[in-house]
Amino acid sequence: MAGSPQGLARVGASHRITDQACKLRFYDSWAPEYDQLQARGFLQVHGVDGSPEMLKQAQARGLYRHLSLCTLGPEPLPDPEGTFDAVIIVGALSEGQVPCSAISELLRVTKPGGLVCLTTRSNPSNLPYKEVLEATLDSLEQAGAWERLVAQPVEHWELATSEQEMGQGTCADRGFIPGIIYLYRKQERGQGEGGRPSVQAPVHP
């Protein structure tokens, strides 16, 4: 994964790619990681993205059972309450992307007892967003909606892509910015339905 030397090299290489086809091949190289989900029983992966073109690319890969066009925040997720065993959002919770108001939608479509995994950046330019995000997460926990299982800081989260992202908090030796991974379990409100576990995930890494 990205924390290993091999993963760091792959991430670093991706930020030096300017050709779109090469970038898509790089993202394709992460497809085997879905084997880890399958090994744990998550055999039905659904994807959501706000870009029709990204959905076309995802459809061509054949990794997803179902794909939906949705702009998180302005639009609700197109799924009934309590649909998924796990919901994952990676690389989208930051300033100018998905607003914190979308968190309640992620929780809504998660089954009672299911997992919600979220990530955000911890670099200086994203700290105001991170503060609002954590207040939102804590408010839901205090309300008894879910419980926090993990809050794992990651020093080498991703490479900075602009001068604005650089600064104190950036690993100057490699140009990486830090991030954090959160994992929550939705509060049980009754016996869940049986069947194969399902997971909702964005169509991009």
pLDDT in tens, 27-62: 556 556 666 777 777 778 899 988 898 888 888 877
pTM, entire model: 0.75
**Is residue 2 domain-resident?**
no
Residue 78's pLDDT band (cuts 50, 70, 90): very high
Q: pLDDT tens-digit profile of 82-136?
A: 999 999 998 899 988 999 999 999 999 999 999 999 999 999 989 999 999 999 9
**Is residue 3 domain-resident?**
no
Bridge partners, residue 69, by sequence: 49
Helix (H, G, I), strand (E, B) or coil at 29: coil
The crossing angle, in degrees rounded to 10, of helices 5-14 and 20-28 is 160
**Is residue 82 domain-resident?**
yes
CATH code: domain of residue 139: 3.40.50.150
Q: Round to whole Å and give the CA distance between 169 and 180.
A: 13
**Is residue 115 domain-resident?**
yes
**Is residue 11 domain-resident?**
no
**Is residue 101 domain-resident?**
yes
- Cβ atoms of 92 and 202 within 8 Å: the answer is yes
Range with lowest mean pLDDT among 15-19, 183-187, 190-194: 190-194
Q: What is the pLDDT of residue 57?
A: 84
Q: What is the pLDDT of residue 91?
A: 85
**Is residue 10 domain-resident?**
no
Q: Round to whole Å and give the CA distance between 143 and 184.
A: 14
Q: Round to whole Å and give the CA distance between 31 and 25.
A: 10
Q: pLDDT tens-digit profile of 9-26?
A: 544 454 444 455 555 565
Which residue would you say has higher pLDDT here, 203 or 112? 112
Q: What is the pLDDT of residue 193?
A: 43
**Is residue 180 domain-resident?**
yes
Q: What is the pLDDT of residue 164?
A: 67
For residue 131, what are the domain limits?
39-202
State how many domains the chain has.
Answer: 1
Residue 169's pLDDT band (cuts 50, 70, 90): very low
Q: What is the pLDDT of residue 70?
A: 92
The top-scoring range by mean pLDDT among 92-96, 186-190, 194-198 is: 92-96
**50 φ/ψ angles, rounded to the nearest 5 degrees:** -90, 0
**For 193, what's the count of Cα atoms within 13 Å in the CB-facing half-sphere?**
11
